[in-house]
Amino acid sequence: MADWKKSVSACATTVTIGDVSNYVVPFSETNSPIDSFYIERNKLLSSISPGYAASNPSIPPLVLVGLISLTENYFREVLAGIVTICPKAKQKSATKSLNLATAWIGFGEMEKGAFENTSFSDPKAVKKNLYELIGVNVTDINQIAAPLEEFGKLCELRHAIVHSAGLLAGKNAVKLELPNSRSSVRIEIGFPELQKSAEVCSSLVCAVNLELFVNMAAKWLREWPRTPAYQGQNLNALFKKIWSLFYSEFDKRNGLISDSLTQIKARNLIVRTNAT
């Protein structure tokens, strides 16, 4: 006898994902946060060509999601790095909630646990963390403001790609100031749009990296020597930690640093100009 309960679609299978440990591998990062972003960004972009994007229109939106994820991870990496070396940031982050699971997985990078519940695909969260933790205020005259605004638009598109198969929800469409539409609106990203999106993410990371470096350099010179944590410490060794956190070997190799200085020359210039 036919079973009407099974008359509208295929039945579920009993497949499982198997051993979940086959889906993960141990990982440790040795590059600066900005170089980690560059490396993974280039891997993503090199995996898709204009022809492939045109023939497979469902792929570019997924690459966009990957680009935003890399940008979010840059924020987590660099903020965790700052908390590690900056006594002022340590003080401000001391009240942040830390998931107990961080003590079991990734316990060698405990500072990242402070940002596990933070979504950096929200410009408001980016501004809040930069200001509350570091003291960087994103304003209209700040080099972060413009790329962060554009990044926010990409994040609205990302929401539709991740949560509704590319169909843009009304809330996201309103935030993007799109015109009224009787029918649904679907995200469609071609190769040129993907390249522009990558440029926006890269511009935001570059702007934040420079602003945070300037901020940390000023704190290193004016504030750190007066803190009990660093009284009597070798300031040159402390500056090396700042330099390692922000310096991009990728930009150096490709001649992209506007004023290329050695670590020692940069340090001496900061002292001579009082970090101005």
In the chain, pLDDT over 70 holds for what percent of residues?
93
What does the pLDDT average to over 183-211? 95
Answer whether residue 118 shows pLDDT above 80. no
This prediction's pTM = 0.91
**pLDDT value, residue 109:** 64
133, 85 Cβ separation under 8 angstroms: no
Q: How far is CA 223 from the centre of its chain?
A: 27
Answer whether residue 113 shows pLDDT above 80. no
Indicate the average pLDDT of the chain: 90
Distance, in Å, from the CA atom of 111 to the CA atom of 102, rounded to the nearest integer, reads 9
In the chain, pLDDT over 90 holds for what percent of residues?
64
Query: Which is higher by pLDDT, 191 or 93?
Result: 191
**pLDDT value, residue 38:** 98
For residue 275, count other CB atoms closer than 10 A to its CB.
Answer: 16
Please write the tens of the pLDDT for every residue from 145-169.
999 999 999 999 999 999 988 888 8
Residue count of the chain: 276
- Calculate the alpha carbon distances from 97 to 93, 100, 105, 109, 227 in Å: 9, 9, 16, 15, 24
